[in-house]
């Protein structure tokens, strides 16, 4: 009986979460927010998580949603991205390095102020894929709860700020957001091929233990097949809507009351650091508009410090230059994955001596 009662409670909470997500997503869609179907579920899940609802989304659905977003990104990847990297490669690398440097500076400040331990501050402030940073932080001995808290606070802040900027700068009659990037009547053969690419790409990447493999694998495989014309990427709107919602729930439900209680003393520093990184990237984005013939929305999304899947959804659903945004975001993801361990050790060495040890 207790087990059935617990199951009934969980199902009831999920029904309430789905209803609240739908209401919020619809309201945001009416306000013409890009990625409303991601933002609405995420905000609803944050409220449920912080209030101690006690429900969580398993990792498998999240990885499946990431695989679909990887295919969505692959749909937008073509020869233009390669051309963008070739034409503006040095500048794109500079954009990436500035964003990574901003995260490193924030990590050093948090460490010097004793708000967080050195390696935890390093991984938490790294502007890469949140799931990949949490996984790598745990492997290198950092507190994964604090890292996850920092990463997902930043993801939430980036999604909110990027959605707001896109809403203000995008004049569109397509309120739902990213779903319009894919044909509403997707051919069955193309849909099945896309699902096969998602499954195969994610399976290979996860077997090879690539960071963020569920997203990166389908993105790389799908991009190669789609750009060469070997396969056509097609995703029906309802499937993408489900993927957006799953990612929003997975991120939002991580904001639990217990995590907030454990990290309450660090929250002001984490919030200030998050806003500082976003502000630095926004200032750099404004500078890019003076250097390159791109609009501010494109520059802002390109320099936004994660998460990759959320920014990709917003970019595809707005009037941004998707090829430039994805080129910068993809390159930065790999740069962060390579430099992460080095920066973590460097930031850890910047920590002041422990007074207890010195005494």
* Chain-centre distance for alpha carbon 13: 25
Q: Between 295 and 340, where is the model more confident?
A: 295
The lowest-confidence range among 24-33, 289-298, 335-344, 350-359 is 350-359
Task: Say what the pLDDT of residue 175 is.
Answer: 37
The lowest-confidence range among 1-15, 60-74, 275-289 is 1-15
Q: What topology does CATH give the domain 2-353?
A: Na+/H+ antiporter like fold (1.20.1530)
Arithmetic mean of pLDDT, 86-111: 79
Arithmetic mean of pLDDT, 277-305: 85
The string over 143-153, giving b where at least 16 C-beta atoms fall within 10 Å of a residue's C-beta and e elsewhere, is bbbbbbbbbbb
> Is a pLDDT exceeding 80 seen at residue 40?
yes
Arithmetic mean of pLDDT, 102-109: 79
E-assigned strand segments in 202-281: none
With the C-alpha atoms ordered 41, 64, 300, 169, is the resulting torsion angle positive or negative? negative
Q: Where are the domains of the chain?
A: 2-353
Arithmetic mean of pLDDT, 244-264: 78
Q: Between 8 and 199, where is the model more confident?
A: 199
pTM over 0.85: no
């Amino acid at each position: 009986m207790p087990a059935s009662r617990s199951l009934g409670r969980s199902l009831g909470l999920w029904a309430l979460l789905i209803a609240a997500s739908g209401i919020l997503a619809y309201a945001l869609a009416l306000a013409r927010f890009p990625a409303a179907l991601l933002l609405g579920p995420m905000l609803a899940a944050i409220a449920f998580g912080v209030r101690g609802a006690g429900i969580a989304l398993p990792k498998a659905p999240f990885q499946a949603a990431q695989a679909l977003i990887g295919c969505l990104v692959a749909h937008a990847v073509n020869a233009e991205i390669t051309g963008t990297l070739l034409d503006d490669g040095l500048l794109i690398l500079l954009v990436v390095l500035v964003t990574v440097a901003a995260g490193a500076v924030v990590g050093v400040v948090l460490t010097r102020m004793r708000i967080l331990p050195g390696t935890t501050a390093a991984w938490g402030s790294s502007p890469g894929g949140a799931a990949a940073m949490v996984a790598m932080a745990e492997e290198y001995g950092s507190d994964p709860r604090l890292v996850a808290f920092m990463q997902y606070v930043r993801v939430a802040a980036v999604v909110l700020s990027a959605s707001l900027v896109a809403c203000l700068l995008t004049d569109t009659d397509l309120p739902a957001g990213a779903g319009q990037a894919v044909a509403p009547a997707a051919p069955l053969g193309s849909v099945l091929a896309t699902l096969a690419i998602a499954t195969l790409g994610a399976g290979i990447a996860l077997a090879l233990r690539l960071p963020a493999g569920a997203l990166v694998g389908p993105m790389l495989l799908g991009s190669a097949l789609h750009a060469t014309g070997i396969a056509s990427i097609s995703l029906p709107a309802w499937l993408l809507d489900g993927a957006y919602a799953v990612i929003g729930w997975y991120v939002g439900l991580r904001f639990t009351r217990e995590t907030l209680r454990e990290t309450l003393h660090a929250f002001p520093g984490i919030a200030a650091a998050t806003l500082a990184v976003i502000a630095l990237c926004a200032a750099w984005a404004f500078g890019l508009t003076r250097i390159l013939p791109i609009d501010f929305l494109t520059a802002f999304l390109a320099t936004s410090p994660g998460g990759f899947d959320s920014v990709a959804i917003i970019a595809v659903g707005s009037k941004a230059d998707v090829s430039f945004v994805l080129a910068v975001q993809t390159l930065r993801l790999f740069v962060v994955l390579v430099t992460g361990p080095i920066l973590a050790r460097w930031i850890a060495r910047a920590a002041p001596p422990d007074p207890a040890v010195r005494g």
